Amino acid sequence: MTAPAATGVLAPVPSRHVLDIDDLGPDGLATVLALAERHPTGLPAVLAGEGVAMVFEKPSNRTRNSTEMATVALGGHPVYIQGPEVGIDTRESAADVARTLACYHAVLCARVMDHGTLTRMADALDAAGIAVPVVNLLSDRAHPCQSLADLLTLRQVFGAEALADRTLAYVGDANNVWRSLALAASMVGMATRVATPVGFGPTDEDVALVRSFGGELTVTNDPFGAVAGVDAVYTDVWTSMGQEEEAEARLAAFTGFQVDEALVALAAPHAVVLHCLPAHRGEEISAAVVDGPRSVVWPQAANRMHAMRGLLAWVRGTTLASGDRHYVVPS
């Protein structure tokens, strides 16, 4: 099949910020995933001669490398900026940091401790009439780039049109990763279940938001019931960066929620296991599972780059020339 052409709009679309996955809307999500599945040589170099600022208040392996390589693939120049270099709200306000970086860069990406920092950056650029999109590389509230890679992986396993007939169980803390994943899944009609210890479940507001996109969501404290018969099992670390002082209490609270061979055996025979990494073997997931035959964590990690390439192309205004949205990234 001949892939339809993608067209690049060199001027960014105003206010095309992506602070969480629902900022894309269902149509935008479908377009980003299609662009992510396209070989980079088939995309316009919409970042040619442009910079992409990457502010990291938190360190990262996958996020930094995937964002840098995605930027280069679109012709741009990534600039890695450690948190202390700009000192958001210590040396300069979030608004001033955003307006300064927008003087030099076509896209402002940031991995921050507080989601409100991203909101203030985006608001400052909008108020000044500056058409530079802000992209969330991770915050305490959301991880949209990860959820894009997650959906991309599930499309590769089950097919793009089949996700609405699949069910995913998330076992662990209903954190930022869960929130964006559940929203993304609901936006494509996929049913999800989330199993957490008491006190670590989603808020009523998040449950309502996830369900508002049409996907079925089950909330439970029973990991075994949640996993029974599902097509995919997902987990994340029990203690995220910034929660180190809670580590001992969390280890105790999450006893019985490890994704191990016994738990995965309750899923459908064809079920796959996902983890956003880094994985703590022996805590939230067993070595036998994360390194086992059902694991798709390495394609999932690789898809962070493809997903980011699609997202950066989209925020720079790339569109698809036809209704055919399905491509395959060559291995």
> Position 278: which residue type?
P
Place of tokens 């793009």: 160
Spatial distance between the Cα atoms of 56 and 306, rounded to a whole number of angstroms:
20
CB-CB contact of 124 with 94 (8 Å):
yes
Given the structure tokens 């192309």, which residue do they identify?
A: 313
Token code pair at residue 39: 């070989």
Amino acid identity of residue 305, one-letter, is M
Q: Which helix (H) or strand (E) holds 192?
A: strand 191-195
Query: What residue has token string 């909330």?
Result: 219
74 CB-near residues (< 8 Å, 6+ apart): 40, 43, 45, 46, 47, 48, 309, 312, 313, 316
Alpha-carbon distance 115 to 174, whole Å?
Answer: 16
Give the span between the Cα atoms of 225 and 213, in whole angstroms.
Answer: 24
> 118, 87, 3, 39: which is closest to 313 by C-alpha?
39
Whether the bond between 223 and the residue before it is cis, its omega within 30 degrees of 0, is no
Catalytic residues: 111, 143, 146, 236, 276, 304
How far is residue 294's CA from residue 285's CA, in Å, rounded to a whole number? Answer: 13
Residue 246: closest CA among 328, 151, 173, 148: 173
What does DSSP assign to residue 47?
Answer: T
Q: Which two tokens stand for residue 297?
A: 């964590």
